[in-house]
Amino acid sequence: MSKIRTRMGDGYVTELTLQELRDDLVAGSADAVKRGKVPPLEENEVDWLADLFANPSRIMGVDPGREVVLTKDGSVNTLYSAQLSSGVGLPLSREQCFRVFERAFCFDTMEIGHPDYSYKPVKPIVALEATGVEQALLTAIIPVFYGAMPNFGLYAQPDGPFPNPADLLPRGEVEAAREAQMAMAGACKADMLYVSRIMAEVGADGINFDTTASTGDAEFLAVLETVEELAATTDLAIEVGMAAEFVLGFHGQLEYRGKRLAGMWPHQQVKVVEEAGAHLFGPVVNTNSRRSVPWNVARAVTIVKECSRVATIPIHANVGMGVGGVPMFEVPPADVLTRASAAMVMIGRVDGL
C-alpha cells in the first residue's frame, strides 16, 4: 500500500497509510471530545479531512466562494522584526510594511504594533505608536488595527511592581498570590485602557488583545473588563485572541458575570467575550508536537467547530506556529499550513483566520 506524506507536529516529515491517516483523524477528534467536552466530527467530515491529507498536491485551499477574512496578530513585525517575531529583518518601516501587507500580500485587514508587542512598554511611547497608526490610516484602504499583548507577567517582580504569584504559590501563600494577581489585573487593565483610548482618538478601526489569558484567569478578567469599558465608550472594533486552548486557573476563583473563568474552553470563552462586547474572537487550540499534523488538525477543528456553532460574533481562529494544527516551527511548511488553513474554514466553519 502506498504511503501518504505528511508531517509531525514539530514539522518533520512522516508517512502514513490511509488507515493510519484515518485512525489519527479519529483519534485527534476523540481527544478534543474527551478534553473539551465538544461533539465529535461527523463521518463525512473525517472523510473530507482524509481526502485533504491524502491528496498529493503540494498546497491545498478552500473551495471557491468559501474564502474568509484575514486578521493578523503580531502586526507587521514578521517583516521588519527579528526571529522573536519570526521576523525576516527587512529594512522597512512599520508603515511601509503595512502597505506591503495591503498591496503585495492582499490582506483584508492589518495591524500596527510595537516590536515588544505588549501594552505595558507601549504606554510611555504611545504618541509614537499613535503616529504610526495615523500614517496607516491616511494611506491605507484596509481596516487598521493596533495590537499588543496584555502580557501579565510584566506586572510581577522582578519585571513589575507586584509580588510574583509564581513565587508565592510554591510557598503555600495562596491568598497573597491571589491578591497579587488582582493588583496586576488592575494595572494591566489601566495600561490597556490608556493605549486603546488614544488609538480610538486617532481613528483606528480596531484594537487587538493578543494572547489573552496567557497567565490565566486574572489576565482574562482584566481583558474582559477592558473590553466592556471600551465597547461602551469608543468606536473601536475589539478583537480578543487567546493564548491557549483553555484558561489556566492561576487564581482559581474568578468569575465574569457569574461564569467561572478557570478551565474555560473556546466554546465557553467566546460567550464571555461576546458578553463583554467584543467584535471578533480568536480561539486557540495548541499543537502537540509528538502527534501527526492530521491528528492535530482534526483535534483543532473539532474544538473550533463547536466554538463557531455557538458564537454570535465572527470567529477568527489562530492557525499559526504551534496552534490550530500547524507545526511548532517558525518556518511552517506550506503543505501542512495550507491544509490546516483549509480545514479550519471548511470544517471549523470560521469567519476568518
Partner 1 sequence: MGTGDPYGMSISHALASGMGGIRTTGDLVARMQLRKKMRLPQAKQYVADKLKVGLDDLADSTVMRGLRQELDIGVITAVPGARKGIEAKRNIAELLDVEVPCLKRL
Cell of 169: 504559590
By CB under 8 A, the count of residues binding partner 1 is 74
| CA separation for the pair 85, 320 (Å, rounded) | 12
In the region spanning residues 208 to 267, those forming contacts with partner 1, defined by CB under 8 A, are 235-237
Is residue 323 within the footprint of partner 1 (CB under 8 A)? Answer: yes
Q: How many CB atoms lie within 10 A of CB 197?
A: 16
Contact of 284 with 319, CB cutoff 8 Å: no
262-294 burial, b if ≥16 CB within 10 A, otherwise e?
A: bebbbbbbbbbbbebebbbbbbbbbbbeebbbb
Stretch that binds partner 1, among 102-110, 146-154, 222-230, 261-269 (CB under 8 A): 102-110
Least Cβ distance, residue 263 to partner 1 (angstroms): 24
- Collapse the DSSP code of 20 into the 3-class scheme (helix H, G, I; strand E, B; otherwise coil) and give the result: helix
Residue 13 within binding range of partner 1, rule CB under 8 A = no
Is 280 near partner 1 (CB under 8 A)? yes
**Angle, CA of 289, 290 and 293, to the nearest 5°:** 65
72 part of the interface to partner 1, by CB under 8 A: yes
Minimum distance, C-beta of residue 14 to partner 1, in the bound complex (Å)? 19
Gap between the Cα atoms of 316 and 296, Å rounded: 18
Judged by DSSP in three states, 131 sits in helix
Smallest separation (angstroms) from partner 1 to the CB of 207: 11
Among 192, 248, 337, 347, binds partner 1 (CB under 8 A): 337
- Which 116-175 positions form the footprint of partner 1 (CB under 8 A)? 137-144
Query: Which of 184, 273 has the CB closer to partner 1?
Result: 273
C-beta of 123 vs 279, nearer to partner 1: 279
Q: Is there binding between residue 29 and partner 1 (CB under 8 A)?
A: no
The footprint of partner 1 on residues 46-65 (CB under 8 A) is 59-62, 64-65
